[in-house]
Amino acid sequence: MALLDEIQTLFSVDSEHIYLIGDGVGGNGVWTIGLRYPGTFAALVPIGGYYGYPFTVPENICDLKDVPIWAFHGGKDAMVPVEAEQILVDALNACGGNAQITVKPGATINIRYEAYANPELYNWFLSHSHK
């Protein structure tokens, strides 16, 4: 967060359009940082993400109910099962959140390449702003 603050100080950054994306352990980081700073990001994209180990739903999951989230997960991810991310999406939506998950049945952690190459993702980002 200190780096983000410094970048915003040094450069012209549209603070209404700051997005957080990460894959694998970075997907865990998206959930963790998003939950710690729920008012900072316009949208979150965890790829192959999870929260905690053993995989769990944090008590403050509803803090993200106003943050759009598009999760991606490979159905054959050997490190993190789809259920680890699905429980987060389901819990968030149960408290009125705006989360969706795209699962590619044959993909592993390589789902990251499909997510990053998906032009719809970038249009989705631009359709969300932090107000």
Instruction: Return the CATH number at 41.
Output: 3.40.50.1820
Residue numbers of the domain that contains 50: 14-126
Instruction: Answer yes or no: is 27 within a domain.
Output: yes
Q: Flag whether 93 is in a domain.
A: yes
Rounded to 5 degrees, what are φ and ψ at 10? -85, -30
ω before 46 within 30° of 0 (cis)?
no
In a domain, 131, yes or no: no
Pick from 74, 16, 20, 73: nearest CA to 45: 20
Q: Is the pTM of this model over 0.85?
A: yes
Is residue 3 included in any domain, yes or no? no
d(CA 72, CA 23): 9
75 close to 82: Cβ distance less than 8 angstroms: yes
pLDDT bin (cut points 50, 70, 90) of residue 130 is confident
pLDDT number for residue 74 = 96
Structure tokens at 19: 């997005």
